[in-house]
Amino acid sequence: MLNVRVVLFGIVCFALGAQAQLGLAQVRPAFNAELVKAKGPAEAAELLLAEALRLAGTGSWERIAVGRAWYLGGNKGKGQEIFDSVTNTRKVEDSDWLRIGRVYAEAGEWDKAQIAFDKALAMSPSDDSAMIEYGALANVYNDRGKAEVWFAKGMKRNPREFWHWVAAGGSYLGVRPPQ
């Protein structure tokens, strides 16, 4: 009789587990082409980016990536809302401000980018890579004076870093720094 109970208990556990798995599969749909096939670009983007934001959870870099897609894709309000949700927390870090600054620079909004870079460097004043990136972007946006100040500070901290030289040099040709 004991063996029958153990087997029945196992079957019940298996059935409950299978039901739970089916429930989870409905919460997290697997991607397939049919998901977006008949949708217009805006509707497909909405569907995919909503799921991406859900999957991002509380990850700031992931949330910023979703905000970037919205911001550069033409829905600046939705992108800005996501950026604000990241930066209006106690957990905001210098890397968050750097990433958001890059988005603004990519969007051609240099004034906003400078504010974000200034906040990042205020939080991490010894980040020579951020100094060089800020300088290179300043140079690309025709602020050579600011660029050379940041180049001097960044190179002083780490004069032998290959990527610093590439970013600074390329910026004089109008090339954005590699990220």
Q: What is the CATH number of the domain that holds 128?
A: 1.25.40.10
Check residue 38 and give its pLDDT: 76
Assess whether 80 and 104 both reside in one domain: no
Quote the pLDDT of residue 16: 60
Looking at the domain assignment, is residue 9 inside a domain?
Answer: no
Q: In degrees, to the nearest 5, what angle opens at C-alpha 144 toward C-alphas 142 and 147?
A: 110
Q: Looking at the structure, tell me whether residues 109 and 76 fall in a common domain.
A: no
d(CA 164, CA 160): 8
Whether residues 75 and 115 share a domain: the answer is no
Q: Exposed, middle or buried by CB within 10 Å (0-12, 13-18, 19+), for 93? A: middle
129 and 67, same domain (yes or no): no
The pLDDT of residue 1 is 59
Q: What is the pLDDT of residues 81-119, one digit of tens each?
A: 999 999 999 999 999 999 999 999 999 999 999 999 999
Identify whether 124 is part of a domain.
Answer: yes
Domain that holds residue 88: 39-92
